[in-house]
A and B are shown apart, each in its own frame.
Chain A
Amino acid sequence: MASVPTTEFIRIAEQTEGDNTTDDPRFRAPLVTGGKNFAAVTETVANIAERPAPPQAWYVAMGVSLALLGLLGAMVGYLILTGVGVWGNNQPVGWAFGIVNFVFWVGIGHAGTLISAILYLFRQNWRTGINRLAEAMTIFAVICAALFPGIHVGRPWLAYWLFPIPDQMNLWPQFRSPLMWDVFAVGTYATVSLLFWYVGMVPDIATFRDRSKSKIKQVVYGIFALGWNGSSRHWHRYERAYLLLAAIATPLVLSVHSTVSFDMAVSQIPGWHTTVFPPYFVAGAIYGGFAMVIFLVVPARELFGLKDIITKRHMDNMAKITMATSMMVGYSYMTEFFIAGYSGDRNEAFTFHNRALGPYCWSWCVMFFCNVVAPQVLWSKKCRMNMWIMWVVGICGNVGMWFERFEIIPESLTRDFLPSSWHAYWPTWVDLCTLAGSFGLFMTLFLLFCRYLPTVAMAEVKTMLPEAHAHGAHSADEKRTDYRPDEHHDPDTDAPRFANR
């Protein structure tokens, strides 16, 4: 009976010339190509960690990342020992690179949980190929983000006063401050993402445990596998917990960047005090996050031979989401400008006039091109299928989103209410090196992850294989791998369906 899926696959292959990106309703595009069975999936993924040495490119990337990480360490050290004055911040511009980078990295962190949670609830089964990578990316991005609020304050050694712990002055944090909301939002987000990532990884770590030959690996993986043994009862509660996490994380994802946007929206500086920010920031975050996923996945699937698990179809779907969110972002830009003009508020209107035509118009242009113009190439399937173009769009997304934050945060501050206190902002070399260094931190963590942990959710991918389903009562329904509107609801399916709920 293993022949059934195989023949089906061949049939599809005939119809679609091996391309699984078709949306022809007559056929079900497989999410795993290359005729892989359970063992083959395990093999492909585990091989990355089990092979004696990673590819050359890994070492090169690791070398660069470590160098940047060292730079970050040096810059942070210099900052803490000397004072925030080593950055370019000044009197009107109290927040600049530090907070820009913070918002940027938090934004990046959104794709992961979005893919794990929201796509999960929407039964987007193709997520299984990439969710692990995306979740890892989320964790690392949030780590980078968490660094900046800590070091941007004037007295970093007292930053812990932002946590509600009794201190020598018997004073408590002031919870009306959006910064406190940030502390809780980002803290919660980091925790939940970590749990999500780890819980998803437990069965796969168990796989590594069971495959590893060396005692040390067995012990280490064994500890993290928590003694997972694939019991159906465990699977049942596990699936339920995973579903709940997804349900909880979905509003969380939306709330985190909304909260971050409150830092600006709640204040009253023109260009900050903008009600459209929460949805606008979330859309931007998702856009930036997907851009980062594309940026990472394109080389990863090449390097680690994951092409059959992270297939063209996955890239295709991500491209579509990227384009959609980019247009939401573009719409937000338009809204901002319209409201600024329509409000009749002189300060507000000037801020946006100044944003597009003032001294920093160049950065506004970079932002607009990267976030709104560049992604439009993805209308064409050719571009979506060309990994180089995808990769470049991914880079654009990151650059553009960084500049969006630069536009909003320091640039709005340079010219607020009283012209007497207007002043330009320019970063110092320390600012620039710190930004570069944060990428070093991110890449280092990501490369280590690729090398030592399951980069793909094997257990989940296996449920996507045709042979993952017993034949008989449920077969008709269970072969579905993509959501299809014309699907008839099968009366027998009210038994728990794991992969999809």
Chain B
Amino acid sequence: MKHHSAQREYWRSLEHLANTPEIQQSASAEFASYEPDGMLSMSSLTRRRFMKLMGASMALAGLSLNGCRRWPEAKLAPYTSTPPNRIPGIPEQYATMMELGGVGSPLLVTSYDGRPIKIEGNPTHPFSETVKGRSGAADAIAQASILEMYDPDRSKAVINRSGGNEIATDWDHFTSAMSSTIDSLTASPGSGLAILCEATASLTTTRLKAALAKRFPTAFYEYEALSRDNERVGIKSALGQPARQVLHLDKAAVVVLLDADPLGAHPAHVRYAGDWVKHRPNKEKETSRVYAIESAMTISGSVADCRMGVRPSRVGAILSAIAAQVGLAAAAASLTAEEEAFIKPLIADLSANSGKSLVAVGPHHPAEMHAMALAINDKIGAIGSTLTLLEEPNADRPHHFDSLADLTKKLKAKQIDTLVILGGNPAYDAPTDLDFAGALKNAKTSIHLSLYDNETSHACTWHVPRAHYLEAWGDARAWDGTVSICQPLIEPLYNGKSSDQMLAFFAGEPETESDAIVRKTFADIDDLAWRRVLNDGLVKDSGFKKVSATINSSAALPAAGGQSGYEVRFLQDSKLYDGRFATSGWLQELPDPLSKIVWDNAVLVSPRDAAGLGVGVGDMLKVTVGGASVEMPAFVLPGQPVGVIGLALGYGRTMGEHIGSDVGVNTYALRTTGAMYFTSAQVTATGAYYDLATTQDHHLFDQLGIQERQARVGEKHKSAEIIREATAAEYKRDPQLFQRNEEGGISLQLYEPPRRFNDPHAWGMAIDLSRCIGCHACVIACQAENNVPIVGRDNVLKSRQMHWIRIDRYFKGDAEDPNPEVVFQPVACQQCENAPCEEVCPVGATTHDTEGLNVMVYNRCVGTRYCSNNCPYKVRRFNYLDWHSQDPRHDKYPKPWLGLPDTQQIETVPMVERMMYNPEVTVRMRGVMEKCTFCIQRIHNTTIAKRARGEELKDGEIMTACQQSCPTQAIVFGDLNDANSKVSKWHQDKRAYSLLDADLNTKPRNRYLAKISNPNDEANG
């Protein structure tokens, strides 16, 4: 109740503030001078003016950061008309879709008085729901895109570079300038118009393309740096017709992954992870077994039960060996002893589980391998049971890579006068041998529509600011083809235009506004149904049709020359994707799931190769491919295949704005059309050193420390103090084995606690180590929900990262082991009943509430940091500096603040960034300790509402941000008073244990479920 009344007071003070004359004045000034064009001419000056406008609207609403409640009033509303039941201050949620690489991920966006503040998965959509209708998962990238939308670095004006020099201008100038081009095109089409776009399955885009093609000859090109077209082409060749395959990991007892990463890097990985976990240890099903044969350390590989790291060039051979052994007419390639030993039990499992097994090949392998994989799947009865084939959209388009090569050729031959590039950044991520940026100069007019004035924009004659997907209407299709509408949550902050608006303009469509354009596409849906679609976030039964066709298993693999020396494997970055998200501070500071590196990419080398090269973490390596070479720090990654070096793409942006520029090294420099994913390389140590910032194991590692760490986490598949685990077989044999590890029943309690911490609820959490795949979605979810700041590389080097929840990643197995076991352990505040942090706080800033929460009172904290010292889990985070106001890039020693210390936060945070804060959560200032609160704001919002309505709280009605975003539902939160709640059941589970409790009697309210893996002893050797 306290919480609630506090809230009210807050509001009163707001109105009070909002009524001061100067605010009123600035407000009127704001609306007087608010006309979009006024803000379109870009210069640092108008940017400042823009900030001022924002500032006024902020101030209008006081500092509660809900300021744009009135600003977007002009037109902006998530619906085309403001709904009647809109209550200021009550957050609303809208379904929308984010398209990435031609596949949309369904989202639910929380909007607070017109400001989107939080992105979650759409719980009603099959591709993100985790708990039916209640919780939707979204990956880290999708959740972090909210930051991208507010990014003050986004381009704000049309820029004309045709004259050689930059002229900032506006949309009208652009349209008038273009109309002449269009006229000439309509008069004498000639080579016509060329359009290069990102992969998209949008129906609106398709419609507009057709319209445009009708108007005058237009050549369409499509490019994705991380294309999955190999798979598309392969399936087409095997099937004789284009198709897309949807895996059903929930039905697969045996899964064989050849460089495939369905849990980590697939467009549908959220759904796949949710499916995979349905077949992991639980009541209904036997634990499935995942075999991973991979040339890199992936998320899927790290949770696989049997894993073998191999050179990329060997994967084909192994695949055909499998093909041969399941009885396909494939040239049985000769395997090494190790490979033989690995696939023998694999084959046994496959044949034993015919119809319940699955083989998948990574998208970076040639089409032939995908064809063969499909043939195998056919043979082992996967198709129809564990794998469905659906029709593929715009099937006849060429391979992305060919498409771009073709375009470049035409450009070089001066066959293209006018090129429109919708999104993307080919000047940065195109294969180097194409020299796309150079070719671009041959086009008389080149127009780049983009969120940022980036590398490609600078190579074009025009740059047009693009509307973020949260700012404009659109549509996209999920992996299974289900159509969703992208609803905007806010009017374009920087007056961008959507790619559809751009196409519509060239197509001469009457509609100019994105809502009208999209609505036209779905004209056959009546308004009522339309509202329904918008509400649900998807068009029912709009998925792709199933295709049934016979596989002609005559696929022969291209001879993969047995490579010696080093092989490079280009990797999709776990955070920046292909580099387009380099401008997001959240993602830059998100630890890589396996290496834990932030703000950098590195040469991933296996321990053995590192020894061979005589390098350790941070030693610079020179990687030479053909003529090109880059120098990058090495990172020794256990499990990295010997002879393979992993290079993450997407770093080393030169025009990534303030956040993204000059972070890491641009590995596209080594990527050529001939070798888009693998190639051989020379690697030499340069002797230089670079300090890689990682959030774990940083600066650790003398031998003593390594030995101790390994001793504490235990041997492969063996329990230890910190990580408890067993194999499925052991667990089946002896379900009590984890209970026995507990210090049996001895009460270490000296006295009766004054409360039982269960009045009226007893909040608890449980985390299943068998389910966590280390995807880090929860980290971003927490960051967005709780206004967690980023600190920048310099401060991560000092180990001052602020994430409230961290994923501890431990490699098990000795240093020499080429295939160590990986364990992910999410650690947030354990909410100990005997909280060690509380007794040492001299000012009572961290205490317990009656429901068992260890609450942190920010405004009481003076910052002695004693609580953090005494926390055995080290989950507390301290604001050593004013993270919100300091520059994450270059503040080794931030500027002193000469105002009142307590005003620092408000004064220095850019207004537009404040719009994104969750007003339910205090923004912590410097000198204050903070930590996970079990999302206390969510708890109280729900319980208060429930109490007001006099209803009982049902299990699962309150979800913490991390729990909600978890694709595998590894995190469960709820009321321990309710014996039937999921969390109570998990706490009572035979696998449950409390971290360090046996040592310290901290009585955590968070318990872990021991990890159950299902290795095949033969395969693991």
Contact = CB atoms under 8 A, between A and B. Distances in A.
A195 to B, nearest CB: 26
Given A82-B894, A418-B827, A154 B870 contact: no
B473 to A, nearest CB: 44
B879 interface: yes
A52 interface: no
Nearest to A177: B842
Across the A-B interface, the 5 shortest Cβ-Cβ residue pairs: A154-B863, A154-B927, A94-B865, A85-B880, A81-B896
A426 to B, nearest CB: 8
A174 B880 contact: no
A83 B880 contact: yes
Interface stretch (B224-232, B393-401, B699-707, B1010-1018): B699-707
Contacts of A418: 722, 808, 827, 872-874, 995-996
Contacts of B928: 154-155
A91 B825 CA distance: 19
Contact of A179 (B800, B840, B874, B898): B840
B806 A420 contact: yes
B705 A415 contact: yes
B189 interface: no
A42 interface: no
Dominant secondary structure at the B interface: loop
Interface residues of A, number: 63
Given A159-B862, A420-B697, 10 more contacts: A82-B893, A94-B869, A173-B842, A177-B842, A268-B872, A269-B870, A269-B872, A358-B705, A420-B696, A422-B705
A157 B841 contact: no
Please tell me the size bucket of the interface on B: 35 or more
B874 A78 contact: no
Interface string B557-582: 00000000000000000000000000
Contact of B869 (A159, A269, A420): A269
B1006 to A, nearest CB: 14
24 contacts: A82-B897, A83-B881, A85-B894, A154-B878, A155-B861, A155-B863, A155-B901, A162-B862, A177-B840, A177-B866, A267-B836, A268-B870, A346-B712, A358-B702, A417-B873, A417-B999, A419-B700, A419-B708, A419-B722, A420-B806, A420-B809, A421-B874, A423-B698, A423-B699
B927 A94 contact: no
Interface string B827-869: 1000000001001111110000000000000011111111011
A91 B836 contact: no
B72 to A, nearest CB: 36
A268 B708 contact: no
A84 B702 contact: no
A359 B708 CA distance: 13
A91 B869 contact: no
A178 interface: yes
B810 interface: yes
Given A171-B860, A419-B712, A155 B927 contact: yes
Interface in B987-1006: 995-996, 999-1000
A91 B699 contact: no
Given A81-B898, A174-B844, A420-B808, A179 B864 contact: yes
Contacts of A91: 799-801, 868, 874, 877-878
B713 interface: yes
B792 to A, nearest CB: 11
Interface stretch (A251-259, A278-286, A347-355): A347-355
Contacts of B843: 161-162, 171, 173-174
A470 interface: no
Nearest to A178: B840
B700 to A, nearest CB: 6
B798 interface: yes
B929 interface: yes
Contacts of B708: 350, 354, 415, 419
Given A85-B880, A92-B874, A418-B873, A180 B705 contact: no
Contact of A83 (B699, B861, B927): B927
Contacts of A267: 836, 840, 866, 869-870
Interface in B859-915: 859-866, 868-870, 872-874, 877-882, 893-898, 901-902
A357 B705 CA distance: 10
Nearest to B879: A154
Contacts of A153: 862-864, 927
Given A154-B861, A159-B862, A90 B927 contact: no
A416 B874 contact: yes
A162 B893 contact: no
A82 B896 contact: yes
Contacts of A88: 798
Interface in B576-629: none
B300 interface: no
Contact of B866 (A86, A179, A359): A179
Interface string B405-420: 0000000000000000
A157 B903 CA distance: 13
A158 interface: yes
B865 A95 contact: yes
A350 B712 CA distance: 11
A407 to B, nearest CB: 15
A376 B462 CA distance: 81
A413 B876 CA distance: 14
B289 interface: no
B709 interface: yes
Of the listed residues A152, A173, A177, A413, the one surrounded by the most CB atoms of chain B closer than 10 A to its CB is A177
A422 B700 contact: yes
B800 A85 contact: yes
A21 interface: no
Contact of B713 (A177, A346, A419, A421): A419
Contact of B865 (A154, A161, A268, A272): A154
Interface in B681-715: 696-700, 702, 704-705, 708-709, 711-713
A84 B841 CA distance: 18
Contacts of B862: 153-155, 158-159, 161-162
B926 interface: yes
Contacts of A173: 842-844
A267 B929 CA distance: 18
Contacts of B461: none
Interface in A142-189: 152-159, 161-162, 169, 171-174, 176-180, 183
Contacts of A365: none
A266 interface: yes
B795 interface: yes
A325 interface: no
B936 to A, nearest CB: 19
Nearest to B713: A419
Contacts of B893: 82, 86
A80 B874 CA distance: 25
A424 interface: yes
Contacts of B810: 419-420
B868 A94 contact: yes
Nearest to B801: A91
Contacts of B809: 420
A90 B799 contact: yes
A268 B927 contact: no
Interface string A176-220: 111110010000000000000000000000000000000000000
A424 B699 contact: yes
B355 to A, nearest CB: 41
Nearest to B795: A85
B606 to A, nearest CB: 22
Of the listed residues A86, A173, A418, the one surrounded by the most CB atoms of chain B closer than 10 A to its CB is A418
Contacts of B866: 94-95, 177, 179, 263, 267
Contact of A154 (B800, B806, B808, B929): B929
A423 B699 CA distance: 6
A444 interface: no
Of the listed residues B877, B879, B927, B995, the one surrounded by the most CB atoms of chain A closer than 10 A to its CB is B927
A416 B709 CA distance: 11
